[in-house]
């Protein structure tokens, strides 16, 4: 049987942990396939997609800075990815490239596996960029939670709310207003890059007056514990870092490509090992 080829397309892409995660899963599940990093400059995306068609690449992940632009070169886009306005996973199906977005579902899966089903919870999302869009639309579509959004540029948060066609209760807050009303929330999620290495001393908002049993999540995975998460942990919150989202979005992409469910915990371990964690 011919070996299937997959990859992650980005710029830069050499740091990506996806090749380790996926190649291990292919090996573990005895699937004859290979996954590699594919560096594509912003100006070269269209040519690259044409080349992938010509060689019959079976599927690929797509990361910064191509997640939005790639959409115009695909033959079809899944409904949720269309709403999010970005694609992170592409599969070749009947000679057509079809795009999906597994970021939001990967996030939700990681949360539910660790903390259980979220029923009617009040959630605060910090940030209104690509990752926030994926999480917001997924929560709007898949859960009955209310999701408030705070962002440095408040107009972007307002736009996110306006673009959502699902029935969801959402308030838009300034960062200062959010800091003053944290006791309302069952879960607080940082989706900004504030606190990411090397800017490890930065925090997106100051945490105080947290609800008892609150869940605080930072989707950053480098460092494994941001200052924001450390502050939350020291105040008694249950915490989760971005490893779980990263592993689960990858696991869902793997399932789209192969129809098989990989071991997401094994993927998490590979990421943590690569980041030098325990
Ligand atoms: P993005 O689209 O560029 O959005 C960036 C967000 O961060 C915006 O809301 C932006 O606010 C905010 N921001 C940036 N610098 C800020 C600052 N100095 N102060 C306050 N807010 C600031 O980026 P993204 O793709 O959503 O990615 C965001 C983070 O999520 C990155 O750290 C990325 O690594 C991580 N991520 C993790 C996973 C995972 O699987 N764990 C997946 C995707 C992304 P403005 O609107 O005001 O500019």
3-state secondary structure the chain: CCCEEEEEEECCCCCCCHHHHHHHHHHHCCCCEEEEEEECCHHHHHHHHHHHHHHCCCEEEECCCCCCHHHHHCCEECHHHHHHCCCCEEEEECCEEEEECCHHHHHHHHHHHHHCCCCCCEEEEECCCHHHHHHHHHHHHHCCCEEEEECCCHHHHHHHHHCCCCCCCCCEECHHHHHCCHHHCCEEEECCCCCCCCCCCCCCCCCCCCCCCCEEEECCCCCCCCHHHHHHHHCCCEEECCHHHHHHHHHHHHHHHHCCCCCHHHHHHHHHHHCCCC
How far does residue 245's CA lie from ligand 1's centre (Å)?
A: 14
Return the percentage of the chain with pLDDT > 70, whole number. Answer: 100
CA angle at residue 275 from 231 to 219, to 5 degrees?
A: 45
How far does residue 77's CA lie from ligand 1's centre (Å)?
A: 24
> Is the pLDDT assigned to residue 2 strictly greater than 90?
no
pLDDT given at position 276: 86
Mean pLDDT of 260-269: 97
Our answer on whether the CB atom of 153 is closer than 6 Å to any ligand 1 atom is yes
Our answer on whether the CB atom of 93 is closer than 6 Å to any ligand 1 atom is no
Our answer on whether the CB atom of 246 is closer than 6 Å to any ligand 1 atom is yes
pLDDT given at position 29: 98
Atom of ligand 1 nearest to the CA of 153: 47
Minimal-distance CA residue to ligand 1 atom 11: 152
Our answer on whether the CB atom of 190 is closer than 6 Å to any ligand 1 atom is no
Mean pLDDT of 22-50: 97
How far does residue 190's CA lie from ligand 1's centre (Å)?
A: 9
pLDDT digits (tens, 9 = 90+) for 82-134: 999 999 999 999 999 999 999 999 999 999 999 999 999 999 999 999 999 99
Is the link from the previous residue into 12 a cis peptide, with omega within 30 of 0? yes
**How far are the Cα atoms of 25, 32, 58, 152, 234 from residue 181, in angstroms, in the given order?**
43, 52, 47, 16, 19
Residue-averaged pLDDT of the chain: 96
How far does residue 183's CA lie from ligand 1's centre (Å)?
A: 24
pLDDT digits (tens, 9 = 90+) for 155-177: 999 999 999 999 999 999 999 99
Our answer on whether the CB atom of 242 is closer than 6 Å to any ligand 1 atom is yes
pLDDT digits (tens, 9 = 90+) for 37-54: 999 999 999 999 999 999
Our answer on whether the CB atom of 195 is closer than 6 Å to any ligand 1 atom is no
User: Ligand 1, residues 66, 131, 160, 272: which to mutate, most atoms within 8 A of Cβ?
Assistant: 131
Atom of ligand 1 nearest to the CA of 242: 41
Our answer on whether the CB atom of 129 is closer than 6 Å to any ligand 1 atom is yes
Mean pLDDT of 248-274: 97
Minimal-distance CA residue to ligand 1 atom 16: 194
Our answer on whether the CB atom of 240 is closer than 6 Å to any ligand 1 atom is no
How far does residue 131's CA lie from ligand 1's centre (Å)?
A: 7
pLDDT given at position 166: 93
pLDDT given at position 277: 78
Kindly report the pTM of this predicted structure: 0.96
**In the annotation, is 274 catalytic?**
no
């Amino acid at each position: 049987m011919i070996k299937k080829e997959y990859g992650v397309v980005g710029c830069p892409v050499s740091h990506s942990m996806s090749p380790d995660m996926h190649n291990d899963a292919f090996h573990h599940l005895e699937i004859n396939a290979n996954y590699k990093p594919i560096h594509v400059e912003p100006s070269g995306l269209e040519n690259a997609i044409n080349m992938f068609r010509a060689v019959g690449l079976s599927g690929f992940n797509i990361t910064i800075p191509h997640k939005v632009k790639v959409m115009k070169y695909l033959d079809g886009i899944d409904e949720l990815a269309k709403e999010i306005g970005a694609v992170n996973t592409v599969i070749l199906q009947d000679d057509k490239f079809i795009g999906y977005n597994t970021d939001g579902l990967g996030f939700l899966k990681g949360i539910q596996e660790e903390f259980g089903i979220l029923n009617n919870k009040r959630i605060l999302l910090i940030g209104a960029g690509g990752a926030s869009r994926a999480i917001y639309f997924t929560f709007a579509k898949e859960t009955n939670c209310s999701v408030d959004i705070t962002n440095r540029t408040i107009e972007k948060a307002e736009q996110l709310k306006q673009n959502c066609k699902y029935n969801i209760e959402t308030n838009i807050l300034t960062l200062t207003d959010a800091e003053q009303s944290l006791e309302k929330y069952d879960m607080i999620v940082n989706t900004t890059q504030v606190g990411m290495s090397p800017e490890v001393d930065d925090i997106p908002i100051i945490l105080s007056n947290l609800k008892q049993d609150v869940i605080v999540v930072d989707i950053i995975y480098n460092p494994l514990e941001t200052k924001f998460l450390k502050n939350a942990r020291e105040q008694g919150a249950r915490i989760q870092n971005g490893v779980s989202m990263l592993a689960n979005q990858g696991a869902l992409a793997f399932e789209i490509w192969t129809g098989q469910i990989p071991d997401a915990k094994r993927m998490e371990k590979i990421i943590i090992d690569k980041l030098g964690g325990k």
